[in-house]
Structure 1
Amino acid sequence: MLKILHVTQCYDGGVSRAMDNISKLLPDINHYVIYSGSEDPTESGGYSGIKKFSSNPFKRIREVRVFAKELGAEVIHAHSSWAGLYTRLLRLPVPVVYEPHCFVFDDPERHPLLRTAYRRIESFLSKRTSITVALTEHERELANSIDENAKVRILPNIPTIPTVLDRQPIVQEFPEITMIGRIAPQKDPAFFRDVARLSRDQGLPFKFVWIGAGSEEATNSLLDAGVEVTGWLSPSEISARLATTWMYFHSALYEGFPLSVLDAAAAGVPIIVRDLPCFNETRLAKIDGPSEAISALAMAYFDADFLESTKSGGQQLLLTMNEETHTDVLRSVYHEARFETIAPEPAELRV
């Protein structure tokens, strides 16, 4: 059986759910994982072997190499930028499939010099990448912008919870508006907090909920605005919470393609998102600033036709982002990477 080693810096949130999906959808492959993070892969994934990174990030490059050799791994799948660094800073004798789950240099809030530095790092590391897995056409364009010769394959994301076929309308005294993700700058909790404050100032009856965890400071900022913070939940708990959600509102500043939006679509929840490039090819309802967001939420509350339109955009996603397509693309990517011949590196790339 083919042996795949999955590498991740943080086994929690969307990345862990994406990895778990892969391990379950391809049971004819032996999946192993080396990780750091707060969750335990043995509880949710279908892995043949698990190893936890040491606390020293400088040792992790060697730990990946040693674990891959012990397993006889035939392909390494690096999930997100830190894992991409651990698996590509030194050239490995195993092909690396790199899935950035969004490029850091795509963050519009970072200083231009930092964005340039991140682009150059990714450009250097791309030369040691067999295949880059992009979640959207926008992400494919970013990958090719740093390496025009990069092999890039688009992998449509899929929900991590079962699809609800007949969701009943939610009637609540205080309709719940939910966001799922790490409480971190990329997900922009300050944006979500500002929308919650505007709702309160305008006397709207909404209850705001954030499913996820993060820094104490950012969490307290949400709590001070009246947002309920649940911490990380299991897939079954997310399903239960989405069953009582009136609207899913995605506040992130930049994305690959968020699993949480697909989970909301699978649960039949109406969806409003920020106008990000990853959503360009979708029919989701999109907004820009907090004022536009609260106006859209108020319109959905008072206008049944607009509310229905925010639901149909999510249902459209599920037509193309499904398990069959996801599995077929992954199997093709692993097969292509496995049989790639790793050529010697030019001298100027050797470190």
Structure 2
Amino acid sequence: MTKRAFITGITGQDGSYLAELLLGKGYEVHGLVRRHSTLNRSRIDQITDPALHLHYGDMTDGVSLVNLVRLIEPHEVYNLGAQSHVKVSFEMPEYTASTDAVGTLRLLEAIRAAGLDCRFYQASTSEMFGATPPPQDESSAFYPRSPYGAAKLYSHWVTVNYREAYDIFAVSGILFNHESPRRGESFVTRKISLGVASIKLGVTDHLTLGNLDAVRDWGYAKEYVEGMWRMLQHDEPQDYVLATGVGTTVRQFCEYAFARIGLDWRDHVRYDMSYERPTEVDALIGDASKARRVLGWEPQVTVKELAALMVDADVEQLGRLVRHRREDASG
């Protein structure tokens, strides 16, 4: 039997890696795509597998979710769709709540109403811990410090509730920061890697950032989607933290990224307080002992290797763009 998976947020970083993983395992993969005036599918454009099917819908539209769940009848549902930028959540709190919090409820209710016997993965986040001191694990107290973290906390608990109230195989993966060359350009690690590439190629001579002292636990997204899949293959629905256990400041990430091209970050990074959040999360460092013990999941890529991987990819990508622009200008 061919398994069918339904992924919300399939055009994002995690969604694209997860789609590739599942297609490689022989799944039929269905993805939710929001309708835009311009297409935003660059992360999945390279996937040519006929087992990939895209559907228009939205996490803020319960009717579209009900219809798609009934149409696809998935064996596994991965809810990755969200407004996932913390700073933006302060500027768009209501939209963040509707998408990230109530959107999860809409999807769970669609599954319940359809009477589907499927397994459900909820993308929870380390931002739910917020002000709770590290290390943070599955038993740590939640203390979100942003509308994003608060919305995700609702999603987390409503997933637990549907598991207990309706006997749905529903799990939450509490993932700490995970990055890659597919990370959105507004996120700090990708902003750094793109900035480094721009400086190397002579496009600019500096990079502007906010809080350099924030500590995060950064892993490689491609490894983390493997953990998501493993959670749904286990016999019992449980919640898991995925993390490296290593804390790194934004300053250190800058150092690793600039070192990749032989530069001192201090010569090129400028501080701008407008990038600071109204309430800051000082330190997030996860303890993934449970995932290691129960799922056999363990991260391999270090943060230093991750920074180099992202810089290399952006130097190559931006280099192609710069060359094409020069060719167009001269020809």
- Return the TM-score normalized by structure 2: 0.44
- Return the TM-score normalized by structure 1: 0.42
